[in-house]
Chain A
């Protein structure tokens, strides 16, 4: 494990109108570890990762990647750093088929501005195979016709297929059955063991204790605790989620 974090956030805040979704959050994760991010509904987990992914900028705070200060202005910047996100709301285009979704925004091309469908399809099938996603009838079906679990698998595979260094998963198992949850968790562990950084958001502490190395707890937009998974208990984490000590009053604008 590298001694400097793969990703480090220092004092990031984000406000939506009257809602202070994040205030002065410090956060870090290392290569080769699964960092779980937990917190109640509305705690700011999704907001945190959308900021990392460049969906919108943080209002303040700094981002360090690999020890270097970086600015992330859009999804392309995040992708260029090797950051890939699987969103809670999936972010698949229902009308496009599996292959098109897997390569969306990063299509392979050949001469005359043409899409290289054959090699995209081949790589898509290979990636799905390597993740043991075998329930698909065809990779040329529109995503709309897939089950929730299949869609989630596609979304995970999409993030994995790129040569990513940090994969962020926002509730990847929320809609899955037992077997598919198992597969996704195995996959999450495998990614970290390959040396990638993994941030896993989940409400299921059982899942988290199974795969996570460390756990960061957010509450009302603030970081209230950070645990090493092997040195804590579910009770302790639940307590932090529901009653962790806030450093300042939520909703109040934080002044320097």
Chain B
């Protein structure tokens, strides 16, 4: 499938270099904002909240916070990565190069996922300075991290192809992803909600991601891990189908 591995490496390096150039925006700002969450929710409010299911509140919100930034960063990185060449016109080179669509996707999505995972890990390290963290299932933790990063980088790639302006690029993350994440149990257990709202929450895909990820830390979850995993794969499949459709139709890439 990957024939022109040098092209994949070139695009990947290009994208990583871009992140490095904008290290302030791409790394420091998400880490900073997370630290603020810890101060506000963990230290200030958390001291007044009792532990949830035996986990101290400051630690309880860590998986949700990491998930929040994993989603937003994956989408932002991948969507911007492919949208910008379209906007600037430099996409001509990509289209005229001996690369397949799969290679392009692998390179962009790979770079976006790498960046968001690095940010996730930095946040984890930052969190460990504020609260006692113990990771019960480190392998699963990494697996959820990887799966989520790849899935939402694919989602970002689709948005980057679909968008025909910078507003649209911001639209989906701002209006859909962030609200869903906040309502998806990042800062609370959905079991704390009244039955009706708990049922509504089950339609929120982010609930499954946060729940599964939290399980890998504390060994307890709002919904069963199997369901979480299945849902994650379902989103992955949906995003792959979207990307495949773009390839088949040449949607917005070629006149």
Please say whether chains A and B are actual partners in one complex: no
Question: Which A residues contact B (CB, under 8 angstroms)?
Answer: none
Question: Which B residues contact A (CB, under 8 angstroms)?
Answer: none
